[in-house]
C-alpha cells in the first residue's frame, strides 16, 4: 500500500510500505476512505514531538471500511463503515473505567498514552490502517453522516469540546474568548454554543479566519494584531475580563494573551500543543483565583457529538474547505501548511 511516511524533522514522503496485518485478537484492519491533516502533524514535522520516530506513518483521523477483524472483536464486522477515534482505549484499565482514555494503560505503543496513531504506531494517512482495541476505538457511522463530517469527529470536535469547553467550565451566560481561529479554535466556538455561552469572542491575526469565525458560532471578532486588541476584548465584558479564555494555537504569545484577558475567578483552558516552554507570570496571577487547565482529548464525548452531527445540530462538514485524493497527499500537505495563503481550514483526503 501507499502511506505518508515521516523521515525526521522537515521530511516526509508518500511511498510504498507493507500492508498492515492483524497483530492481536482485538485489532481490525480498516481501508481508509477519508482522512485529513491535523495541526499536530505539522508539529511532528517541526520536530516538536520527539516520540515520533523515523519511518512512522502519520495521521490520527479517519473514516473507512472494515476489511478484516480480529477474533475477539464483537462490535464491528467486515464491511462496516466506521469512524476512527484519534485516541485508542482498551476499555479495561483503571483510566478507561474513569473515561480518561487519553491515559489508557494498555501495552500498545506506550502504557499511559491513548494517542498512538501517527505517534507511537502507524497512523491513518495511508490506504490501510491497523486499529487496536476496535471495540472501544471505532464507531459505526449512521446513514446520512458524510465522510467529510464524520472525519471531524476523529479529533478536532471532541478535542475542542472536552479540553476547551468542558475543562474551561463554560456555562450559560458566560463570555468566552477563543485565542486562535484555526480548526481547533473554530471547533471550540461551535461547541461552546452547546453550553449556552452568551458571547464568544474570536481572536486571530488572520482577517479571513476571523470572518470564518462568525459563521462557526463567534459573536464578535478581534484582530489580535491591533494595538488595542486587549482593550477591545475588555470593552465586551464589564471591564474585568472574560469568564473563559481558550488557548487554541500552542505558542507562548497566545497563552500569555489568555492570562491578560481572564477575569478573577475565570478559567484558562489550554488546548494548543506547545513545542516550547511558556512563562507563567505567577507573581501577577496568584491573586486572581483563576484556574488553568490542559489535557489530551479522551474522545469520551464522541458518541454524543456523533448523534448531534447525525441530527444536523452540528455542521461538522463546514470545516472541509479543500478536497484531495490519497495520491495527492503531498499537495494536501502543501495546501494545509500554507493555510494563511490558501485559506484552508481542514483538507479532506479521500480514496
The predicted-structure confidence for 306-330, as pLDDT tens digits, reads as follows: 999 999 999 999 999 999 999 999 9
In the predicted model, is pLDDT for residue 94 greater than 90?
A: yes
57, 159, 285, 311 from 4: Cα distances, Å: 6, 23, 44, 34
| Residues 37, 209: Cα–Cα separation, whole Å | 18
Question: What is the domain count for the chain?
Answer: 2
Same domain? 271 vs 332: no
67, 117, 130 from 127: Cα distances, Å: 12, 14, 11
For residue 232, with 0-12 CB atoms within 10 Å meaning exposed, 13-18 middle and 19 or more buried, which class applies? middle
61, 100, 166, 211 from 220: Cα distances, Å: 30, 33, 21, 10
The predicted-structure confidence for 19-51, as pLDDT tens digits, reads as follows: 999 999 999 999 999 999 999 999 899 998 899
Say which residues have a Cβ less than 8 Å from residue 291's Cβ, sequence separation at least 6: 169, 266, 267, 268
In the predicted model, is pLDDT for residue 275 greater than 90?
A: no
106, 120, 225 from 115: Cα distances, Å: 12, 8, 34
- Final residue in a domain of this structure, among 294, 318, 334: 294
Same domain? 316 vs 290: no
Same domain? 193 vs 245: yes
Same domain? 44 vs 103: yes
Same domain? 231 vs 161: yes
Q: What is the pLDDT of residue 168?
A: 98
The predicted-structure confidence for 142-173, as pLDDT tens digits, reads as follows: 999 999 999 999 999 999 999 999 999 999 99
Give me the mean pLDDT over the 285-313 stretch: 96
Same domain? 67 vs 184: no
Give the 3-state secondary structure of residue 256.
helix
Cell triple for 152: 471531524
The CATH number of the domain holding residue 112 is: 3.90.180.10
Same domain? 286 vs 334: no
Same domain? 222 vs 140: no
Give the sign of the dihedral formed by CA 250, CA 204, CA 179, CA 337. negative
Same domain? 334 vs 199: no
Same domain? 145 vs 210: no
Q: Percentage of the chain with pLDDT > 90?
A: 94
* CB-based contact 41:118 (threshold 8 Å): yes
From the list 169, 171, 161, 236, the residue with the least C-alpha distance to 197 is: 171
Q: What is the pLDDT of residue 51?
A: 93
Say which residues have a Cβ less than 8 Å from residue 138's Cβ, sequence separation at least 6: 28, 30, 66, 75, 76, 82, 83, 84, 85, 131
For residue 117, with 0-12 CB atoms within 10 Å meaning exposed, 13-18 middle and 19 or more buried, which class applies? buried
* CB-based contact 155:115 (threshold 8 Å): no
User: Could you give the residue ranges of the DSSP H alpha helices within the chain?
Assistant: 39-46, 94-97, 134-137, 147-150, 156-159, 183-192, 207-213, 229-235, 252-261, 282-285, 302-310, 329-337, 339-342
- Only one residue has cell 473563559, namely 244
The CATH number of the domain holding residue 261 is: 3.40.50.720
Same domain? 15 vs 92: yes
DSSP readout, 155-220?
A: THHHHIIIIIIITTT--TT-EEEEE--SHHHHHHHHHHGGGT-SEEEEEES-HHHHHHHTTTT-SE
| Residues 90, 288: Cα–Cα separation, whole Å | 40
Same domain? 270 vs 307: no
124: domain range? 2-155+298-350
Q: What is the pLDDT of residue 107?
A: 78
- Final residue in a domain of this structure, among 276, 294, 312: 294
> 46-50, 95-99, 239-243, 254-258: lowest mean pLDDT where?
46-50
Q: Percentage of the chain with pLDDT > 70?
A: 100
Amino acid at each position: 500500500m501507499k502511506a505518508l511516511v515521516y523521515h525526521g524533522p522537515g521530511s516526509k514522503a508518500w511511498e510504498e510500505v507493507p500492508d498492515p496485518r492483524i497483530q492481536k485478537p482485538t485489532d481490525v484492519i480498516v481501508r481508509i476512505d477519508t482522512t485529513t491533516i491535523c495541526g499536530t502533524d505539522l508539529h511532528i514535522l517541526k520536530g516538536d514531538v520527539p516520540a515520533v520516530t523515523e519511518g512512522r506513518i502519520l495521521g490520527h483521523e479517519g473514516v473507512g471500511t472494515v476489511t478484516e477483524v480480529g477474533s475477539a472483536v464483537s462490535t464491528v464486522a467486515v464491511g462496516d463503515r466506521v469512524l476512527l477515534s484519534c485516541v485508542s482505549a482498551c476499555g479495561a484499565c483503571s483510566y478507561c473505567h474513569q473515561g480518561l482514555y487519553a491515559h489508557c494503560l494498555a501495552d500498545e505503543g506506550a502504557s499511559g498514552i491513548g494517542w498512538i496513531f501517527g505517534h507511537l504506531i502507524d497512523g491513518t494517512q495511508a490506504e490501510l490502517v491497523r486499529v487496536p482495541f476496535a471495540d472501544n476505538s471505532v464507531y459505526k457511522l449512521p446513514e446520512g453522516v458524510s465522510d467529510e463530517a464524520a472525519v471531524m469527529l476523529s479529533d478536532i470536535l471532541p478535542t475542542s469540546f472536552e479540553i476547551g469547553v468542558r475543562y474551561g467550565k463554560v456555562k450559560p451566560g458566560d463570555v468566552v474568548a477563543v485565542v486562535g481561529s484555526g480548526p481547533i479554535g473554530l471547533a471550540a466556538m461551535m461547541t461552546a454554543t452547546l453550553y449556552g455561552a452568551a458571547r464568544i469572542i474570536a481572536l486571530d491575526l488572520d482577517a479571513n479566519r476571523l470572518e470564518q469565525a462568525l459563521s462557526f458560532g463567534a459573536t464578535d471578532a478581534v484582530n489580535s494584531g491591533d494595538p488595542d486588541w486587549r482593550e477591545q476584548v475588555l470593552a465586551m465584558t464589564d471591564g474585568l475580563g472574560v469568564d473563559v479564555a481558550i488557548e487554541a494555537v500552542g505558542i507562548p504569545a497566545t497563552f500569555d494573551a489568555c492570562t491578560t484577558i481572564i477575569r478573577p475567578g475565570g478559567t484558562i483552558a489550554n488546548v494548543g500543543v506547545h513545542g516550547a516552554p511558556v512563562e507563567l507570570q505567577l507573581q501577577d496571577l496568584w491573586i486572581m483565583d483563576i484556574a488553568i487547565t490542559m489535557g489530551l482529548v479522551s474522545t469520551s464525548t464522541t458518541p454524543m457529538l456523533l448523534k448531534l452531527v447525525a441530527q444536523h445540530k452540528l455542521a461538522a462538514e463546514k470545516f472541509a474547505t479543500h478536497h484531495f485524493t490519497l495520491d495527492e497527499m503531498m499537495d494536501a500537505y502543501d495546501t494545509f501548511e500554507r493555510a494563511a495563503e490558501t485559506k484552508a481550514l481542514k483538507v479532506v483526503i479521500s480514496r
